Amino acid sequence: MDTSLRPQSRPKTELPYEDIEKIERLVWAEAGTEGLEGRNAVRGVILNRLASDRFPDTIDGLLDPNEFEPIRKYGDVYDIPAPEDTLNGQISEFADYLQLGEDASGGRTFFQNL
């Protein structure tokens, strides 16, 4: 029996724009100052959670304030004050990340000191 927290299926990569924007607002809050590698690690963790049967299978279900401090701090993912130009750049990074097809988090479903 596999007891790892690693997802057992490939992360979902077809997401509506609204979900991508939510992910990127959280990425900005969690890793906005860490560079591309840090942002991609957070993206990987979110996508791995989405693929795991241990977490909700929707972005709205995943973005729980008990799981993500920025959502708890700001009250709602849309209240995270990500600058619009930065957010647009990150959405392009997200598309590139998906296209590369590599998991920058190494299969993790939690991010601590990635």
Task: Give 29's DSSP letter.
Answer: H
Q: Where are the alpha helices (DSSP H) in the chain?
A: 17-31, 35-51, 59-62, 69-74, 84-100
pLDDT for 68-106, tens place per residue?
999 999 999 999 999 999 999 999 999 999 999 899 999
Rounded distance between C-alpha atoms, residue 45 and residue 40, angstroms: 9
Rounded distance between C-alpha atoms, residue 57 and residue 79, angstroms: 22
Residue 6 contacts residue 108 (beta carbons within 8 Å): yes
Task: Give 77's DSSP letter.
Answer: G
| pLDDT > 70 fraction of the chain, expressed in percent and rounded | 86
At residue 12 the predicted structure's pLDDT band, cuts being 50, 70 and 90, is: low
Does this model's pTM top 0.95? My answer is no
| pLDDT > 90 fraction of the chain, expressed in percent and rounded | 78
